[in-house]
């Protein structure tokens, strides 16, 4: 059994850790509320914009398609893992890294795969492959639509220039503080709208459908990426809050166990001292 001083040091260490994890939990809980409100307010707009774009695209002739819907043979693929800049968030980052690794080794095993990391954790995981073309971790320093739009424009430009034939984003979709769903979405080329029934939009368009679609596509793509990063941002705080809550509970349990061990060791020490005193007194009497 460890001596009393070692146990006291461990109790002090665990108590300090518990205070840190508890503070981090409260900070994440405060940030989560704001991030959750932002993504909840944004989703209806983003979903409706995507729905409108796909519906319009489905009514256009094949010859009038957009340069962003160019379906060509997939030889070069760009995967965009959206992770966080910091850890201590449970399996939040590792789930994204595992999914991207699975895609590269499975679905795109015969293609030339590159990565554009959004988040330091993703960059750290894939930079050893020497296939990371860029790292956009600084976007979290000021997470605004305009800053994300610059990344989306860069991705669109690389697709149009033929640098990549397909671009997919992988991120955590926020469900609640305890649950995040790993999502893989095709960013480019534009996914064609599929429906069992014919799409019939009885509207008069001014300007033409093709012009509207051409203007909507860049906005829709920027919104899609912004929504993915916003989802990931909210998921990060939810995952960290949950992880720190569990860590605090584990630290509390460990501290209680150590205190019990300390009391037992102290009681045993006192009992030994009493026995030594009694034994010495008995020896003097004899």
Residue 217 located in a structural domain: yes
- pTM to 2 decimals? 0.84
CA distances from 220 to 49, 86, 201, 269 (A): 6, 29, 19, 72
Domain assignment of residue 252, yes or no: no
User: Looking at the domain assignment, is residue 177 inside a domain?
Assistant: yes
Looking at the chain, the whole-number percentage of residues with pLDDT higher than 90 is: 63
Task: Domain of residue 182: give its range.
Answer: 28-242
What's the CATH number where 94 sits? 3.40.1380.10
Give the whole-angstrom CA distance, residue 158 versus residue 272: 77
Residue 247 placed within a domain: no
What pLDDT does 83 receive? 97
The length of the chain in residues reads 286
- The CA-CA-CA angle for residues 70, 76, 79, to 5°, reads 95
| Ranges of residues in the chain whose predicted pLDDT is under 70 | 1-2, 57-65, 192-205, 286
Q: Each residue of 200-239: pLDDT tens digit?
A: 556 666 777 777 777 888 998 999 999 999 999 999 999 9
Say what the pLDDT of residue 161 is: 93
Please indicate, yes or no, if residue 182 is contained in any of the structural domains: yes
Residue 210 confidence (pLDDT): 73
Question: Among residues 155, 94, 154, which one has the least CA distance to residue 122?
Answer: 94
* Overall number of domains in the chain: 1
The predicted pLDDT at position 171 comes to: 97
Q: Does 123 fall in a domain?
A: yes
DSSP string, the chain: ---HHHHHHHHHHHHHHHHHHHHHHHHHHHHHHHHHHHHHHHHHHHHHHHHHHHHHHHTS-GGG--GGG------EEEEEEB--SS--STTHHHHHHHHHHHHHHTTTTTSEEEEEEBSHHHHHHHGGGT-EEEE-GGGGGG--HHHHHHHHHHHHHHHHTTS-SEEEEEEEEEEETTEEEEEEEEEESPPPP--SS--------SS-HHHHHHHHHHHHHHHHHHHHHHHHHHHHHHHHHHHHHHHHHHHHHHHHHHHHHHHHHHHHHHHHHHHHHHHHHHHHH-
- Residue 18 counted as domain residue: no
- pLDDT confidence of residue 61: 54
pLDDT at 14: 93
Task: For 121-158, write each residue's pLDDT tens digit.
Answer: 999 999 988 999 999 999 999 999 999 999 999 999 99
Cβ atoms of 103 and 168 within 8 Å: the answer is yes
What pLDDT, on a 0 to 100 scale, did the predictor assign at position 50? Answer: 79
Radius of gyration of the chain (CA): 28
CA–CA–CA angle 7, 273, 13 (5° rounding):
10
The whole-number pLDDT of residue 65 equals: 55
Q: Is residue 101 part of a domain?
A: yes
């Amino acid at each position: 059994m460890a001596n009393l001083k070692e146990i006291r040091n461990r109790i002090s260490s665990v108590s300090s850790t518990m205070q840190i994890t508890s503070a981090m939990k409260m900070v994440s809980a405060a940030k989560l509320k704001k991030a959750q409100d932002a993504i909840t307010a944004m989703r209806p707009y983003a979903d409706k914009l995507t729905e409108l774009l796909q519906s319009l695209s489905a009514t256009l002739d094949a010859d009038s398609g957009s340069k962003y819907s160019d379906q060509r043979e997939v030889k070069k693929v760009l995967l965009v893992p959206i992770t966080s800049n910091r850890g201590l968030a449970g399996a939040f980052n590792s789930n994204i890294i595992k999914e991207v690794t699975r895609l590269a080794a499975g679905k795109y095993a015969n293609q030339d795969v590159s990565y554009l990391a959004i988040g330091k954790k993703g960059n750290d995981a894939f930079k050893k492959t020497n296939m990371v073309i860029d790292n956009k971790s600084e976007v979290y320093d000021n997470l605004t639509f305009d800053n994300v739009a610059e990344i989306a424009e860069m991705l669109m430009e690389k697709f149009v220039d033929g640098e990549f034939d397909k671009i997919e984003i992988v991120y955590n979709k926020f469900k609640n503080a305890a649950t995040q769903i790993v999502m893989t979405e095709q960013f480019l080329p534009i996914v064609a709208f599929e429906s069992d029934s014919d799409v019939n939009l009885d509207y008069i368009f001014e300007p033409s459908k093709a012009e509207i679609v051409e203007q909507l596509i860049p906005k829709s793509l920027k919104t899609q990426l912004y929504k993915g990063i916003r989802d990931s941002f909210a998921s990060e705080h939810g995952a960290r809050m949950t992880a720190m809550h569990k860590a605090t509970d584990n630290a509390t349990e460990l501290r209680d166990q150590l205190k019990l061990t300390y009391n037992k060791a102290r009681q045993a020490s006192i009992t030994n001292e009493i026995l030594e005193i009694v034994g010495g007194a008995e020896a003097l009497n004899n």
